[in-house]
């Protein structure tokens, strides 16, 4: 990360630089190898010590500002704000990557917590595939050869839909509606 320090009515000391680097270098593991620029603006106004940190990374900007009577505490709290923003963006990328693999919520509404604080279950849409006509034995062989736990098939004799699944005891279960 490349650092630029600006001091307004304050001299930027090596101790302040080391303190700031100590907090912002922790972000490198989240930001990866892409170069990031950090602009740290330190201001003193009467008894207020203001630390403003702006980080430019790829096409994102993270900003944190905090004011209190101690400059070191201001720097720490401003870097904490930026850390939260970076983690939020990282979580957003994780969620986006999961949905791009074919796992998506049926309804596009956000998941709402229930009254006891737990997240209500939602339906996750997975891949679609054709239901092929085959015998239950052929479907069991298909389950044996695949990494899936079950196969939905159309019984070639009765033309009814069925599901063959792996049981915990090593046998196969058959569900016929």
Query: What is the sign, positive or negative, of the torsion defined by CA atoms of 162, 166, 169, 170?
Result: positive
Given a cut of 60, is residue 12 above it in pLDDT?
A: yes
The more confidently predicted of residues 14 and 29 is 14
The two three-digit tokens of residue 130, written as one number: 């054709």
Given a cut of 70, is residue 112 above it in pLDDT?
A: no
The more confidently predicted of residues 118 and 102 is 118
Buried residues in 152-163 as b, exposed as e (16+ CB within 10 A): bbebeeeeeebb
- To the question of pTM greater than 0.75 for the whole model, the response is no
Phi, psi angle pair for 120, to nearest 5°: -70, 145
pLDDT in tens, 35-53: 899 999 999 998 899 999 9
What is the mean predicted confidence (pLDDT) over 140-147? 81
All structural domains of the chain, each given as residue ranges with its CATH number in brackets, are 2-100 (3.30.160.100), 128-175 (3.30.505.50)
Contact 161, 150 (CB under 8 A): no
Residue with tokens 């963006």, as numbered in its chain: 89
Given a cut of 80, is residue 107 above it in pLDDT?
A: no
């Amino acid at each position: 990360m490349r650092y630029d320090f600006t001091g307004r009515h304050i001299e930027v000391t090596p101790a302040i630089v080391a303190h700031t680097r100590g907090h912002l270098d922790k972000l490198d593991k989240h930001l990866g190898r892409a170069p990031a620029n950090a602009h740290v603006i330190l201001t003193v106004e009467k008894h207020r010590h203001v630390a403003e940190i702006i980080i430019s990374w790829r096409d994102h900007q993270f900003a944190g500002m905090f004011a209190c009577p101690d400059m070191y505490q201001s720097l720490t709290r401003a870097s904490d704000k930026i850390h939260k923003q970076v983690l939020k963006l990282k979580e957003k990328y994780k969620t986006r990557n999961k949905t791009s693999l074919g796992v998506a919520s049926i309804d596009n509404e956000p998941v709402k917590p229930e009254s006891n604080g737990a997240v209500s279950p939602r339906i996750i849409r997975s891949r679609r595939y054709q239901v092929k006509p085959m015998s239950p034995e052929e479907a069991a062989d298909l389950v044996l050869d695949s990494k899936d736990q079950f196969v939905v098939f159309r019984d070639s004799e009765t033309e009814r839909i069925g599901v063959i699944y792996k049981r915990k005891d090593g046998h196969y279960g058959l569900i016929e509606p």
